[in-house]
């Protein structure tokens, strides 16, 4: 974080300053900000955020032991540390992020890119950050830090030397992206797709469209919206951009895309394609598994080239990326039994993309095995969409379909109804039961996809299988 005096920090937070031992109002702090006391470093700022399970105020002493200089609290606690008492810790975190990013932007050449979409945000964020980090200091979220706490924590990592801030914006409900993007008013917004992920929380697909379009509405006048021309709902955001005085840059697989991919070839060691951007072409070998990640790469290239990075440099840097993020199409196991652990998130679109990838990368003499759990936050669409996954798995010819958990049972029932029999489709209530089955069932040449929403917990089963067959 940039350096601030304790007085200035308190003013930004609209808080009440209580000095700790030997502290003075003019003392400066510039350490990292965090809500997790275990991650606090010497000189850091600990935000004691109340939570559903525990209360951050309980961990102020732990933060002191790790060297925290300041605690942002909602009530004074008996600890020997400077404390700033605020009305709401999460609101204070947002206020601090707004002030810090605004100060850096006003003083230098900071460019801010926001990314949203029903799927692919984290992968695209990581790909774009990899391109930009060779251009100058780049700040991007750890993991999926994209909510009301994670996004500001990322923003607060900027310094006077930061050239690029890449922010990932998730949406817990209507207005969430508007609030987060409104903290920094991005210069560029990337919208990947509008799908059914979290549709239950938005009242359907049109509600999701409105939520994702909040990023375009939050862009600075004169900024750029990088939009997926292949997704009609994303393409429909162009008029919103124009109303805001924002230009549009299109990416996609179709001829209308300014940044597009042709000659796509999917293999077990990644995806190859020819990328066209700005009248130039380059051959890309994207080692992140899955044809669907080509679109994420195109989005990153579209944003980076708009920021002035040459296409050849974009391609060269992307080819160094082997894994988008842990638990996202993560190869585990061995050549004998390959495990693909993609169980951090799941939506109808990402589930279909992962199943198609499994079918595409499995060669002659190898067997496809799909280990599937539930997709969360689908609301009224849950039954229908779980049925569709079971149907798709059968139509793709997946040879073993292992469904885990009551919330996903309809996948199994649909697979059986569509003709998957003789133990081709099996159901287990728990991942322990499924693990015991798989340890006896898997054989040399199997290619195994583990896919579910985070809440189903199958990512740990994927890790377990990967360890067993490493």
Angstrom distances, CA of residue 53 to CA of 46, 49, 58, 90, 420: 18, 11, 12, 16, 42
- Among candidate residues 382, 324, 314, the one with its CA nearest the CA of residue 354: 324
Instruction: Give the angle subtended at the CA of 280 by the CAs of 278 and 286, to the nearest 5°.
Output: 100
CA distance 266 to 199: 30
In contact, 278 and 267? CB cutoff 8 Å:
no
215 within 8 A of 186, measured Cβ to Cβ: yes
What are residue 16's phi and psi, to 5 degrees? -110, 120
Indicate the angle between helix axes 431-441 and 458-468, nearest 10 degrees: 30
**SS3 of 120, please?**
coil
Q: Whole-angstrom Cα distance, residue 334 to residue 77?
A: 52
Binding site members: 117-123
Q: Which residues are part of a known binding site for ATP?
A: 117-123
Distance CA 155, CA 171 (A): 17
Token representation of residue 41: 């470093």
Q: Is 429 helix (H, G, I), strand (E, B) or coil?
A: coil
């Amino acid at each position: 974080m940039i350096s601030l005096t304790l007085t200035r920090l308190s003013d930004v937070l609209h808080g009440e300053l209580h000095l700790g031992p030997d502290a003075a109002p003019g003392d400066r702090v510039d350490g990292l900000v965090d809500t997790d006391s275990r991650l606090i470093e010497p000189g850091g700022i600990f935000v004691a955020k109340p939570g559903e399970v525990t209360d951050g105020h309980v961990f102020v002493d732990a933060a002191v032991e790790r060297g925290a200089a300041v605690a942002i609290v909602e009530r004074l606690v008996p600890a020997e540390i400077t404390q700033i008492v605020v009305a709401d810790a999460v609101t204070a975190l947002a206020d601090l992020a707004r002030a810090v990013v605004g100060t850096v932007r006003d003083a230098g050449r900071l460019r801010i890119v926001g990314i949203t979409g029903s799927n692919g945000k984290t992968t695209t964020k990581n790909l774009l950050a990899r391109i930009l980090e060779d251009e100058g200091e780049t700040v991007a979220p750890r993991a999926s830090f994209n909510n009301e706490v994670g996004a500001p924590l990322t923003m607060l990592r900027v310094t006077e030397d930061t050239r690029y801030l890449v922010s990932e914006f998730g949406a817990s409900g209507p207005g969430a992206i508007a609030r987060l993007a409104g903290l920094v008013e991005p210069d560029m917004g990337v919208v990947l797709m509008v799908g059914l992920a979290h549709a239950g929380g938005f009242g359907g697909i049109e509600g999701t469209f409105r939520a994702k379009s909040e990023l375009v509405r939050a862009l600075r006048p004169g900024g750029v919206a990088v939009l997926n021309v292949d997704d009609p709902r994303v393409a429909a955001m162009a008029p919103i951009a124009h109303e805001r005085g924002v230009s549009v840059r299109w990416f996609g697989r179709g001829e209308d895309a300014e940044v597009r991919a042709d000659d796509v070839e999917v293999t077990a060691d990644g995806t190859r394609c020819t990328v066209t951007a700005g009248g130039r072409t380059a051959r890309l070998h994207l080692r992140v598994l899955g044809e669907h990640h080509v679109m994420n790469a195109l989005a990153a290239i579209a944003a980076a080239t708009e920021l002035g990075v040459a296409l050849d440099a974009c391609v060269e840097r992307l080819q160094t990326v082997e894994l988008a993020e842990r638990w996202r199409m993560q190869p585990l196991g061995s050549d004998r039994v390959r495990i693909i652990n993609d169980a951090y998130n799941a939506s109808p679109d990402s589930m279909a993309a992962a199943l198609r990838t499994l079918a595409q990368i499995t060669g002659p003499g190898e067997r496809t095995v799909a280990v599937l759990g539930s997709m969360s936050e689908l609301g009224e669409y849950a039954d229908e969409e779980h049925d569709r996954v079971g149907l798709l798995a059968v139509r793709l010819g997946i040879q073993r379909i292992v469904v885990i958990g009551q919330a996903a049972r309809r996948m199994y029932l649909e697979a059986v109804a569509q003709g998957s029999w003789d133990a081709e489709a099996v159901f287990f209530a728990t991942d322990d039961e499924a693990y015991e089955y798989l340890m006896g069932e898997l054989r040399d040449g199997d290619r195994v996809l583990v896919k579910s929403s985070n809440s189903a917990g199958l990512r740990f089963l994927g890790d377990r299988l990967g360890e067993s067959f490493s």
